[in-house]
A and B are shown apart, each in its own frame.
Chain A
Amino acid sequence: AQSVTQLDSQVPVFEEAPVELRCNYSSSVSVYLFWYVQYPNQGLQLLLKYLSGSTLVKSINGFEAEFNKSQTSFHLRKPSVHISDTAEYFCAVSVTGNQFYFGTGTSLTVIP
């Protein structure tokens, strides 16, 4: 069975500082990896995804994540955060492409 671990439940960071949100997964087969963002009282929005090809994937708002197969990780990074990045971030893994397994989420709080 697949599982996803997000070790950091809460990450406070000052505005314009860099941030890394960690995600590790367990699977014996090839996976697809996703990061979703959830703003208060809203549904999840896809931030970025890794399906195949380049191990470094980027979003339009400055986030990036790197697939590391040997470490079974898919950490999310941003070099300089904004207040508007305050949200809950979920890492997810899929094998079939249909059923997703989500981590417990990381609450990112950007401090002015």
Chain B
Amino acid sequence: NAGVMQNPRHLVRRRGQEARLRCSPMKGHSHVYWYRQLPEEGLKFMVYLQKENIIDESGMPKERFSAEFPKEGPSILRIQQVVRGDSAAYFCASSPIGQGQGEQYFGPGTRLTVT
């Protein structure tokens, strides 16, 4: 059973470009979470999605950031018009259907660098 997969592992964007980060959850998992980790800081929750639904986006910046988890395919975290402050590691995690006592399974992360 493959783990959570994220790609790309490293992404370099110039200011003003768009960044698109992909996450494929573990097989059988329909809950996906995105986190951001800034240097010297812990993980900050961004958004929680189930298939075709955003359940909790309380951690998402109001502008430029969006996330989706379509019926088919990976979850996408999209950052429009990136700025230097968006440079961080972005982690995706998944959990099985209905596991209320979740443990979350994390991917290796995408390290975004904005130049």
Give A residues with C-beta under 8 Å from B.
4, 6, 9, 32, 34, 36, 41-46, 49, 51, 90, 94, 96-105
Residue B99 is within 8 A (CB to CB) of chain A in the complex: yes
Of B31, B102, B109, chain A has the most CB atoms within 10 Å of the CB of B102
Specify which of B31, B41, B55, B101 is in contact with A51 (CB 8 Å cutoff): B101
Assess A45 versus B48: contact at CB under 8 Å? Given A97-B101, A104-B42.
Answer: no
Contact A97 B106 (CB under 8 A): no
Least distance between A26 CB and chain B CB atoms (Å): 15
Contact A102 B48 (CB under 8 A): no
Which B residues lie within 8 Å of A9 (CB)?
40
Of A41, A46, A98, A103, chain B has the most CB atoms within 10 Å of the CB of A98
Which A residues lie within 8 Å of B91 (CB)?
43-44
Shortest Cβ distance from B31 into A: residue: A98
Give B residues with C-beta under 8 Å from A.
4, 6, 31, 33, 35, 40-45, 48, 55-56, 91, 93, 95, 99-109
> 28 A-B Cβ contacts within 8 A?
A6-B42, A34-B103, A36-B106, A41-B108, A42-B108, A42-B109, A43-B4, A43-B106, A43-B109, A44-B91, A44-B106, A45-B106, A49-B103, A90-B43, A96-B100, A97-B99, A98-B31, A98-B33, A98-B95, A99-B33, A99-B45, A100-B43, A100-B45, A102-B35, A102-B44, A102-B45, A104-B40, A104-B41
Assess A98 versus B103: contact at CB under 8 Å? Given A43-B4, A104-B42.
Answer: no
How many angstroms from the CA of A44 to the CA of B42 in the assembled complex? 11
Contact A46 B103 (CB under 8 A): yes
How many angstroms from the CA of A48 to the CA of B55 in the assembled complex? 27
Contact A32 B4 (CB under 8 A): no
